[in-house]
Chain A
Amino acid sequence: MRYKSQSVAYWYFAVAMVLFGLQLVFGLLSATKYLGPDPLLYILPFDVTKVIHTNLLIVWVLTGFMGATYWMIPDESRTELHSVKLAYLQLILWTLMGVSAIIGYLFRYGTGNKLLEQPLPHKIVIVICMLIFLYNIGMTIKKSGRFTTTEGVLLIGLVSSAVLFFPALLYYENYTVSIFYRWWTIHLWVEGVWMMIMGAFLAYLLIRLSGADREVMEKWLYVIVGLVFIAGILGTAHHYYWVGVPQYWLPIGGLFSALEPAALAGMAIYAYSAMRRSGLAHPNSLALHWTVGSAVFALFGAGLLGLAHTFPAVNKWTHGTLITAMHGHAAFYGAYAMIILAMITYTLPKMTYGRSEKGSSLGYWAFWLQISGMFGMTLSFATAGLGQVYLERIMGMGYLDAQLKIQVHFLMLIATGALFALGVALFIYDFFRHRPRFEADDEPVEDAPVKTRDS
């Protein structure tokens, strides 16, 4: 670590890790309820475990984004953070917000509005945290006067995330209109501005890890951002199927969300070619695994599995089935969970004592267990969803009876989910087993030196 203030990232990552672990507890609990009967029916019913599962995801991913940003900005702008105190204050507020929201959900204190269940006071704290964050980052860049393209993309992504949260603060009389604006926040986050954030981290990591030429990487970053937005903004339409909005959203959704894989394929090719050029010469090849893995898994989960049910003629049968859960799990994990795990794996050797730059075998186990576990979970949801679509939607079997017929896929879901949880447990253990280290090193100021095949 070159700047002492980068160490705030460690605490952000630590909080993210704890919340990630908790998210899995509630995920596994929800999965077992698919098998039933549920002994916790009146203590912890499915709606509670599910809302906690998805909210923890959002909170830990955002915590990870913030931590990764606090690491990356000093590196890119070559200066200490504007205010370490503010960064810690923000983390404390943010964590309190997250934890109290989760406790509230246990007692059904929430808005009951899908993915935006946070009560209004919590939403206001979220806005305050975002403002502190953006101020701190903005002032850091302003102070240094060095502003890279990668930073620019990241910053626009973060500012837009905050702006797009505003529709979530409003009250809508008409349920259909509230659905319409829910996706301004959620969809334009995950398939728009968060993609910019992911792209920026990807570019940062690839420049550091593969020694790829900054000029070239940043040029392609622009192209990817352009592709993401052409497909992503109008692709919001695929959330407007069958919810009571005008008909024209159907063809628009079909056309533009079919383009989304192009942006994601671009990202995967971008990562892979950067890796090929460098020949994995950076010592931290575990971080490179996560980085390239993220781009590839996002192409699979977000791109291809999204495409699988995005055309209206297909979606009218699959809409509202476990097919959506299949896509959601693989997409979120590939695009967002993995890019944060990549940032953590890259930065951790610089922030802890006694950790090998190359990564431990424990770290590789964590990587492969998670990948295979998540792949298995995705297949379980896919097979369960296909069964559901054919039995319930096409053959006309009742919902409850169709669910009984696909029990075997829920068994597979729990088995592969356990494998995934084991991978995550190893990652978390590996994270905490080395003591943190908060001194700055005398690293060279250039982008990290890298041995290439030619040199």
Chain B
Amino acid sequence: MTNRQARVFAIASTLIAALIFLILTLDSHRQFGELTNAENITPEVTRGKDVWHKYNCINCHTLFGEGAYYAPDLTKITKHRGEAYLTAYMRDPSKFYDEQTHRRLMPTQDLSEEEISDLIAFLDWVSNVDNQGWPPRPIMVTGAAVPTEFVADTDEASAAPAGDTTPVTAEDDPRAQGEYVYQTASPACTACHSTQPGVDMAGPTLAGLVTRAQAIIAAESYPGEAQDVEGYIRESIVAPSAYLVPGDMYSAGGTSFMPQGYGESLTEEQIDQLVAYLATLK
């Protein structure tokens, strides 16, 4: 190879690579709107993005997996945590996590109420961007839960029936079906609840649920309408605020942080199954 040939190689390969790159960039611009639901970028979302930047969030957290690696990824956070929870969390994170336990704590950012709701709107927009299904299984903030469905590839998981370990056909025991609902409802119960004794995540542990439910409905101060354990569990799913578990990390102003929409997103049959499953947690 002569010096001249080497130079031609350098220039030609650079130009060809740059040309392909530019063409793909143009094509990406054609698709950005659809992939990112650009029509949903409301002024609120834009202000929320400014809040995200103003408070330097990306130098601890990641979004789309980009940022620093010192705090949890927030790409899908609004799929795991309701607005009421996130609002209360951003007012004072120390009410939710203990620095001595986790050795890390988010400093209180002194956000205004408007900044908080804008930020949540932005994060919610982020959570709906089509990013090839990443993360392949949910990234949790705390706790340890392994819903079998997510161990498989997302594509396969959504197409095929759930993994071998969770029976979910109509002939199966309703309690087994309920366990499947527990793992696959949206948002999944496992995102906030553990069934291990003493493991309180964003929601309280469900270990010993039956025993506690009996004590709660027997107490005079119980404000709800349930007559029995099954009734109490059902009430907790469809009307989470009917009875509030004590603690600043679970509710504020008489409203539970638990998502309110299960009454609609789950079928009556699924709720029956879920109750049957949860009623096994003595």
Contact = CB atoms under 8 A, between A and B. Distances in A.
Interface of A: 33-38, 41-42, 45-48, 50-51, 108, 110-114, 117, 173-177, 179-180, 215, 218-220, 222-223, 225-227, 229-230, 232-234, 236, 241-250, 252, 316-317, 319-322, 324-325, 392-401, 403-404, 407
A175 B49 contact: yes
Nearest to B60: A47
Interface of B: 1-3, 6-7, 9-14, 16-18, 20-21, 24-25, 27-28, 31-32, 35-36, 38, 41, 46, 49, 52-60, 62-73, 97, 99-100, 102-105, 107, 122, 126, 129-132, 134-147, 150-151, 201
A161 to B, nearest CB: 15
Given A242-B132, A316-B134, A396 B147 contact: yes
Contacts of B104: 33, 36-38, 400, 403
A315 to B, nearest CB: 9
A247 B36 CA distance: 13
Contacts of A250: 132
A42 to B, nearest CB: 6
A396 B145 contact: yes
Contacts of A225: 10, 14
B89 to A, nearest CB: 13
Nearest to A384: B69
Given A176-B36, A316-B136, A226 B56 contact: no
Given A51-B59, A233-B21, A398 B141 contact: yes
A110 B7 contact: no
Contacts of B6: 219-220, 222-223, 226
B56 A51 contact: yes
Contacts of B25: 180
Given A242-B134, A252-B24, A398-B143, A320 B69 contact: yes
A interface, by DSSP: helix, strand, loop or mixed? Answer: helix
Of A227, A252, A319, A320, most buried by chain B (CB within 10 Å of CB) is A320
Contacts of A45: 60, 107
Contact of B66 (A37, A114, A226): A114
Contacts of B134: 241-242, 316, 319
B137 A393 contact: yes
Contacts of A34: 70
In the complex, the 10 A-B pairs of residues with the closest C-beta atoms, listed nearest first:
A320-B65, A36-B103, A112-B53, A242-B134, A47-B59, A398-B142, A222-B6, A226-B10, A233-B17, A244-B129
Contacts of B18: 229, 233
Chain A CB within 10 Å, residue with most, of B126, B130, B139: B139
Given A320-B65, A393-B135, 20 more contacts: A36-B102, A47-B59, A50-B60, A175-B36, A180-B25, A180-B32, A219-B6, A233-B14, A241-B65, A242-B64, A243-B131, A244-B64, A249-B24, A317-B136, A320-B73, A393-B136, A394-B137, A396-B137, A397-B143, A399-B73
Give the interface centre of B46, B56, B138, B142 by most chain A CB atoms within 10 Å.
Answer: B56
8 contacts: A47-B60, A114-B59, A226-B12, A226-B13, A242-B134, A244-B36, A395-B146, A396-B147
B99 A37 contact: yes
Given A47-B59, A112-B52, A246 B107 contact: no
Nearest to A114: B58
Contacts of B100: 37
Given A112-B53, A234-B20, A322-B69, A245 B35 contact: yes
A400 B137 contact: no
A436 to B, nearest CB: 37
Nearest to B98: A37
B201 A244 contact: no
A215 B32 CA distance: 47
**Which of B46, B49, B59, B63 gathers the greatest number of chain A CB atoms within 10 Å?**
B59
A119 to B, nearest CB: 11
A113 B58 contact: yes
B79 to A, nearest CB: 15
B74 to A, nearest CB: 10
* Of B21, B38, B63, B143, most A-chain CB atoms within 10 Å: B21
Contacts of B138: 396
A247 B59 contact: no
